[in-house]
């Protein structure tokens, strides 16, 4: 029997007409998902983003043995100690029990900093990449590395997924080999004048890393970011920022124009006027500034140079759920600034 190409029975034609647009839509969604997942990589080479895996299979616990202690947020010391990233456990070891997991760039980016002196930082050997294509421009940080790949030097551009080093257990404090892991963060850089702030703190140790000290970064909720990428809900950092719920809003009265506002104009509701008198800043529960409204003299009245902070709004349900004792601390209907949030504000406003 001869088949005639390009013709279908009326029934098939009807089905195509009815389901064609639906199929097209489904292909489009699947395509976009693949695109997002293909552009953003889990920081361990060859591993998929763990969407539904139990966290004990992915996250390295601290000496407490609780996997939650390796997650992002106020997960240590009853919520008073903030962990700014996630600790990804080693799943590959050689016969001496040394990790062989390869660490890779999560997005295309430029090497901003490489610290090769493991003993000079609690991060041990670490690399920071700057992702200039993202809005806002974020940094990713890879810590406790055993070694850094050849050619990974400041200024070098890396492709997304490109190997930058080997997982390890380097740190000034020392981490046992059995708990070797990758400490991973994505975040914003708080100030260009980090050293001036550092000098005022009278820390016992010297800052060997300039503006690339980990304290100069405010991190986002890492695993939440990756899971949204894997679910196809987010294809870029810009998309992700739109999903971050506002937990509280502060008004900082000051006529200062911090460099943070100049480096992150996309977070501002409008171009900051030269006679700015205050900043209304929306924060996530973990203290990430997500949107900023500059206020002028006409809108506010006169402010002086030293910042004065007032809580304008808070989402009590969200804050009660996240129980962070180092960002905005709520109690008996009131609230106060926690230790980490105070540092973020000091660094942003340079006080």
Question: Which residues of this protein are in contact with Zn ion, per CB under 5 A?
Answer: 87, 183
H/E stretch holding 318:
helix 316-322
Residue 47 or 62: the one with the smaller Cβ distance to Zn ion is 62
Residue 89 or 183: the one with the smaller Cβ distance to Zn ion is 183
Number of neighbouring beta carbons within 10 Å of residue 195? 14
274-279: list long-range contacts, CB under 8 Å, 24+ apart.
277/253, 277/301, 277/302, 277/303, 278/251, 278/252, 278/253, 278/254, 278/303, 279/251, 279/252, 279/254
Residue 87 or 350: the one with the smaller Cβ distance to Zn ion is 87
CB 120 within 8 A of CB 99: no
Query: Which residue's Cβ has the minimum distance to Zn ion?
Result: 183
Minimum CB distance to Zn ion, residue 205 (Å)? 18
What is the three-class DSSP state of 349?
Answer: helix
Minimum CB distance to Zn ion, residue 185 (Å)? 8
Q: Is the peptide bond before 136 cis (omega within 30 degrees of 0)?
A: yes
Residue 183 or 249: the one with the smaller Cβ distance to Zn ion is 183
Distance CA 179, CA 61 (A): 8
Strands (DSSP E) along 48-180, which ranges?
A: 73-76, 81-83, 86-89, 102-104, 109-115, 125-131, 138-148, 157-158, 163-167
Both structure tokens of 266: 């996309």
Q: Residue 181 contacts by C-beta under 8 Å, 6 or more apart in sequence? A: 60, 70, 87, 88, 89, 90, 144, 167, 169, 175
Residue 272 or 324: the one with the smaller Cβ distance to Zn ion is 324
User: Which residue from 206, 201, 190, 184 is spatially nearest to 123, judged by alpha carbons?
Assistant: 184
CB 317 within 8 A of CB 222: no
Minimum CB distance to Zn ion, residue 214 (Å)? 10
Beta bridge partners of 99: 93
Minimum CB distance to Zn ion, residue 299 (Å)? 41
Residue 78 or 173: the one with the smaller Cβ distance to Zn ion is 173
Minimum CB distance to Zn ion, residue 347 (Å)? 20
Minimum CB distance to Zn ion, residue 89 (Å)? 11
Minimum CB distance to Zn ion, residue 84 (Å)? 8
Minimum CB distance to Zn ion, residue 87 (Å)? 4
Minimum CB distance to Zn ion, residue 83 (Å)? 6
Distance CA 330, CA 323 (A): 9
Residue 165 or 235: the one with the smaller Cβ distance to Zn ion is 165
Residue 184 or 344: the one with the smaller Cβ distance to Zn ion is 184
Residue 42 or 264: the one with the smaller Cβ distance to Zn ion is 42
CB 167 within 8 A of CB 180: yes
């Amino acid at each position: 029997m001869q088949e005639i190409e390009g013709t279908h029975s009326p029934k098939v034609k009807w089905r195509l007409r009815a389901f064609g647009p639906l199929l097209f839509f489904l292909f489009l969604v699947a395509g976009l998902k693949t695109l997002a997942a293909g552009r953003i990589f889990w920081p361990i080479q060859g591993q998929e983003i763990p969407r539904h895996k139990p966290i004990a299979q992915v996250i390295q616990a601290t000496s407490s043995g609780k996997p939650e202690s390796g997650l992002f947020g106020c997960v240590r010391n009853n919520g008073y100690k903030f962990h700014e990233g996630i600790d990804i456990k080693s799943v590959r070891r050689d016969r001496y029990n040394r990790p062989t997991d390869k660490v890779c760039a999560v997005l295309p980016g430029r090497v901003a900093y490489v610290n090769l002196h493991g003993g000079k930082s609690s991060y041990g050997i670490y690399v920071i990449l700057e992702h200039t294509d993202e809005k806002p421009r974020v940094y990713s940080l890879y810590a406790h590395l055993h070694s850094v790949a050849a050619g990974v030097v400041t200024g070098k551009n890396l492709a997304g997924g490109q190997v930058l080093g080997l997982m390890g257990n380097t740190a000034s404090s020392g981490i046992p080999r059995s708990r070797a892991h990758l400490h991973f963060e994505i975040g914003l850089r708080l100030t260009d004048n980090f050293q001036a702030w550092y000098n005022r703190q009278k820390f016992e140790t010297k800052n060997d890393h300039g503006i690339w000290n980990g304290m100069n970064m405010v991190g986002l909720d890492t695993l939440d970011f990756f899971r949204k990428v894997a679910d196809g809900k987010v294809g870029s950092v810009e998309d992700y920022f739109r999903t971050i719920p506002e937990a509280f809003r502060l008004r900082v009265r000051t006529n200062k124009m911090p460099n943070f506002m100049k480096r992150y104009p996309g977070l501002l509701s409008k171009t900051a006027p030269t006679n700015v008198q205050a900043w209304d800043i929306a924060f996530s529960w973990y203290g990430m500034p997500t949107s900023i409204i500059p206020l002028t003299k006409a809108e506010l009245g006169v402010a002086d140079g030293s910042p004065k902070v007032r809580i304008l709004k808070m989402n009590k349900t969200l804050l009660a759920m996240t129980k962070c004792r180092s960002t905005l601390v709520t109690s008996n209907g009131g609230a106060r600034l926690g230790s980490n949030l105070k540092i973020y504000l000091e660094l942003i406003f340079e006080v």
